[in-house]
Amino acid sequence: QGVLLPPVPPMPPAFDTPPPPDPGIRLIAPGPVTLDLYRVTADIQDQVATTRVEQTFSNPGQSPVEATYFFPIPEDAAISEFKMVVDGQVVEGQLLRKEEARAIYENIVRQQRDPALLEYVGRDLFQARIFPIPPGGQRTIELTYSQVLPRENGLVRYTYPLRAYPLLQIGRRPDYIQPIGQLAIRADITATSPIKAIYSPTHPIAVARDGEYKATAGYEESSVIPTSDFDLFYSVDEGEVGLSLLSYKPTGEDGYFLLLAAPNVEVNPDEVVARDVILVLDTSGSMDGAKIEQAKQALFYVLDHLNPDDRFNVVSFSTGVRQFARGPQPLSQLGDARAFVAQLAAAGGTDINRALLEAVAQVDPERPAVIIFLTDGLPTEGEVNPDRIVENVRQNAPANAQVFSFGVGYDVNTVLLDTVSQENSGATAYVRPGEAIDEVVSGFYAKVATPVLSNLALDTGDIVIEDTFPYPLPDLFVGSQLVLAGRYRDGGPAAVTLTGEVNGESRVFRYDDLTFRSEGGDAFIARLWATRKVGYLLNEIRLRGANQELVDEVIRLATKYGIATPYTSFFVPEPVMLDDIDAAGPAPMATAMMQARDAPKLMEQAADAVMAAPSAPAAGAVAVEESMAREALRSADQVSAGERAASLRYAGDKTFVNRSGVWVDTAFTDAQPQQEIAFGSAAYFDLLAQHPEWRDYFAVSPNLIVVLEDTAYVIADTGEALAEPVVAPTAASQSATVPAEPPPTEVSIPPTETIATSEPALVILSPTPEVATASLPTQPNQQAPLCTGPAFAIGLVGAAGVFARRRRHR
């Protein structure tokens, strides 16, 4: 859905001999129709999903606008019901089958010179006429359809076609794209077996559970331009721990996998791992004021959420160290502990070394232990050398001690905190200035409050796995799940065994119905694995120093998969406007090829620069932000180009970089044979007919270099007329389950005038018959009257900028 384009303003008269077509795209004006609200609600009951889509469009313009609405049916969906309501009135429509829809998709691609719709070729298409939107008015469209969801390796998959290419094509700037006002997606899941893992690789979701058999997953954002479909996976399992698998096997390579493990939502007290929790709080003078009060609230939260068989202690430190008790205490001492915390005051220096040693000395080697360490400063008392502090902890901490560090503010030594946490099976979180300490700490502890399996180990039988992240495996907690990414060699059935301990007793869980793919699968798994590995490598380089092998691997993975690192900014240039390219001289395609050929040399230079660079400061705002960025990569559950969408696009297992307005496959080299194809030509569509699996790649841009089967396909928009009228199929082609509507008015758009964007819902807009007095000219040298011809819109969610392709007269 989304981008609604207004009528095209008058074009300047053309020369008798038209000048060479200008590949540039120019912004004309914001669209007259905006997408204010986009709400998707899915009711999923035992793999049957009923999806309700609600979209509210506003017309701030001066003239009424009517529309024909197109909605691509989710791929491979078994649709059992499809209806549309506009402002409370049922709208009759047509369900067009794949071959009928293909003609519409391809004609739109030709006319609009925008290939993004190619990914929907091969899908059914719903079409309906909606009522005019009056000036200053709104129309709310409600769409409902039902489908049976696929299940594989224990995972049920729900996909909503939300994908919105950034549309930052040649000459477009990101600030010209108008986002959705409010986007909300909600999936209510009900199952007859206990629901275990709930996971989205595409969007950060919030999950609320109502017992074992009901759950809700939600995603909400305002002022957003989506860049991917919404994918949601969930598993159901009668066992104590559910385990499910996603895998991807590229041709000629080792495979990639994601393994999801999740315990029951409701557990008996004797199923919870009893542990010791040691709270260590910095009470130095720099903690005075709001920080010490927030830190106390954080400690109160942890004390209030201990499990019945847990033990605890509180250690405060400044110039010296104070303990609530001489060792871990039972919960019967909580009242006294709260009083101890309440009277803590901020004063003195910061003896981090002694505080850590006092904490690890309390760990019982026979009992799981968690140390929560909170500080806002650098070591100023006792041992102040960070390397010696790390070594002291290394020599004294038992193997079963987990250290989770919280750095408050920017005046902390990130290398010290990160190293201590990483070497003791924990993690570090930072509280930026202005953020609430208690909110950060309580949010963390809520996820790890109830462990149900510790000392995890995984055996995949005959399937050889390696390079897994996270490593080592963390404990398993109620309300959370393990998402393990890794590589495997050969696919096939697997007998998977997960082992762990509960209060000293060994537990074994076996899964015999999982299969690692021998080919194909979801390509996002490879990018997610690479993201995590890059995060781990960057952490190793930061904490232990750079070496050539690690740096080269970071640059290789980051370049192949489009991952932002301090070493690869060279390969993601700023988006370039065509005006700038024209002024520089070389044609965009030639410039793009030159830049791509220079990439290996730049990689070598980047690696040399990293090796020669001095160590970055361990403290300060930059150090904290970089540490947080590394941790985000290490623990990534989703992968997206995000803010870098202007320069990066992902399609399948490929990454494309915007080089001088041409999107270049990062796999492109000089050594590959090249085949040139004009965008939108007969050869272009013939190639896609032969290789439908390539559609996602070709959908990236009309100006593209993509490497497929060892050949570099050079796709260029030559600017030649490609359009044929978009003629809607007749009512005879409708589905028997959907009422017919009269075929919409034929829409013909000159190829040199309007560029539209594309996404799941397609909208063709035109003024109402009372307003429209003429149609757009079909000859490029005719002039279009202002606001009289039909305008065309393809549904990019939230992008409401209006772009026109025009000829330049020189």
Burial 116-141 (b: 16+ CB within 10 A, else e): bbbbbbbbbbbbbbbebbeeeeebeb
pLDDT at residue 777 in the model: 31
- Distance CA(433)–CA(625), nearest Å, equals 12
- Distance CA(528)–CA(256), nearest Å, equals 9
Up-side HSE of residue 384: CA atoms within 13 Å toward CB? Answer: 9
Look at the alpha carbons of 735, 739, 742, 746 in this order and tell me if their dihedral is positive or negative: negative
pLDDT at residue 384 in the model: 95
pLDDT at residue 398 in the model: 95
Give the residue ranges of DSSP H helices in 363-451: 386-396, 414-423, 437-448
Is the confidence at residue 407, as pLDDT, over 90? yes
The one-letter amino acid code at 786 reads L
Find where tokens 């490593």 sit.
Answer: 471
Is the confidence at residue 782, as pLDDT, over 70? no
DSSP H or E stretch at residue 299: helix 290-304
Which range, of 146-150, 404-408, 512-516, averages the lowest pLDDT?
146-150
Confidence class for position 544, pLDDT limits 50, 70, 90: confident
List, as one string, the DSSP characters of 353-369.
HHHHHHHHTT--TTS-E
Confidence class for position 400, pLDDT limits 50, 70, 90: very high
The one-letter amino acid code at 125 reads L
Find where tokens 């395609």 sit.
Answer: 589
Contacts of 583 (CB under 8 A, 6+ apart): none
pLDDT at residue 494 in the model: 94
Angle in degrees, CA 725, 729, 731, rounded to 5? 145
The top-scoring range by mean pLDDT among 110-119, 277-286, 684-693, 724-733 is 277-286
- Distance CA(591)–CA(118), nearest Å, equals 26
pLDDT at residue 250 in the model: 92
The top-scoring range by mean pLDDT among 140-149, 774-783, 797-806 is 140-149
Confidence class for position 112, pLDDT limits 50, 70, 90: low
Which range, of 138-142, 524-528, 626-630, averages the lowest pLDDT?
138-142
- In the DSSP assignment, the letter for residue 33 is B
Strand 155-160 vs strand 255-263: parallel, antiparallel, or unpaired? unpaired
Burial class of residue 36, CB neighbours in 10 A (0-12, 13-18, 19+): middle
Q: Hey, how many other C-beta atoms are within 10 angstroms of the C-beta on 720? A: 12
Confidence class for position 565, pLDDT limits 50, 70, 90: confident
- In the DSSP assignment, the letter for residue 11 is P
Which range, of 202-211, 298-307, 431-440, 589-598, averages the lowest pLDDT?
589-598
pLDDT at residue 21 in the model: 28
Burial 567-582 (b: 16+ CB within 10 A, else e): bbebbbeebbbbeebe
pLDDT at residue 771 in the model: 32
Largest distance between two CA atoms of the chain = 95
Average pLDDT value for residue range 630-635: 90
- Distance CA(192)–CA(236), nearest Å, equals 9
Burial 493-524 (b: 16+ CB within 10 A, else e): ebebbbebbbeeeebebebeebebbeeebbbb
pLDDT at residue 581 in the model: 35
- Distance CA(101)–CA(109), nearest Å, equals 13
- Distance CA(354)–CA(359), nearest Å, equals 9
pLDDT at residue 571 in the model: 52
- Distance CA(642)–CA(808), nearest Å, equals 33
Strand 648-651 vs strand 482-488: parallel, antiparallel, or unpaired? unpaired
Residue 475 dihedral angles phi and psi, to the nearest 5° = -70, 165
Which range, of 303-317, 324-338, 556-570, 793-807, averages the lowest pLDDT?
793-807
- Alpha carbon separation from 32 to 29, 177, 650 (Å, rounded): 9, 14, 30
pLDDT at residue 495 in the model: 92
pLDDT at residue 617 in the model: 86
- In the DSSP assignment, the letter for residue 747 is B
DSSP H or E stretch at residue 181: strand 180-190
Confidence class for position 608, pLDDT limits 50, 70, 90: confident
- Alpha carbon separation from 1 to 53, 180, 306, 477 (Å, rounded): 11, 10, 48, 40
Is the confidence at residue 416, as pLDDT, over 50? yes
pLDDT at residue 380 in the model: 95
Confidence class for position 644, pLDDT limits 50, 70, 90: low
Contact criterion met (CB below 8 Å) for 452 and 478: yes
For 183-231, how does the pLDDT look when each residue is reduced to its tens digit (9 = 90+)? 999 999 999 999 999 999 999 999 999 999 999 999 999 988 777 889 9
Is the confidence at residue 17, as pLDDT, over 80? no
- Distance CA(264)–CA(493), nearest Å, equals 25
pLDDT at residue 79 in the model: 56
pLDDT at residue 645 in the model: 56
Which range, of 176-180, 442-446, 601-605, averages the lowest pLDDT?
176-180
Is the confidence at residue 584, as pLDDT, over 50? no
Is the confidence at residue 285, as pLDDT, over 80? yes
Mean pLDDT of the residues in the chain: 78
- Distance CA(666)–CA(657), nearest Å, equals 7
pLDDT at residue 566 in the model: 73
Q: What percent of the chain has pLDDT over 90?
A: 47
More confident residue, 454 or 591: 454
pLDDT at residue 551 in the model: 87
For 653-694, how does the pLDDT look when each residue is reduced to its tens digit (9 = 90+)? 898 988 888 899 988 988 899 999 999 888 999 999 899 889
pLDDT at residue 561 in the model: 87
Is the confidence at residue 697, as pLDDT, over 70? yes
Contact criterion met (CB below 8 Å) for 176 and 111: no
Give strand pairing partners of 430.
Answer: 407
For 151-182, how does the pLDDT look when each residue is reduced to its tens digit (9 = 90+)? 988 899 999 988 643 332 223 333 345 678 89
Which range, of 33-42, 626-635, 745-754, averages the lowest pLDDT?
745-754
For 238-265, how does the pLDDT look when each residue is reduced to its tens digit (9 = 90+)? 889 999 999 999 988 999 999 999 999 8
Strand 65-72 vs strand 761-767: parallel, antiparallel, or unpaired? antiparallel
Domains in the chain, please, with CATH? 239-266+452-526 (2.60.40), 273-448 (3.40.50.410)
Average pLDDT value for residue range 579-593: 52
pTM of the predicted model, to two decimals?
Answer: 0.78
For 83-96, how does the pLDDT look when each residue is reduced to its tens digit (9 = 90+)? 667 777 777 667 77
Instruction: Find, among 164, 265, 176, the residue nearest to 214 by Cα.
Output: 265
pLDDT at residue 727 in the model: 39
Residue 301 dihedral angles phi and psi, to the nearest 5° = -60, -45
Contact criterion met (CB below 8 Å) for 245 and 516: yes
pLDDT at residue 125 in the model: 73
Is the confidence at residue 587, as pLDDT, over 80? no
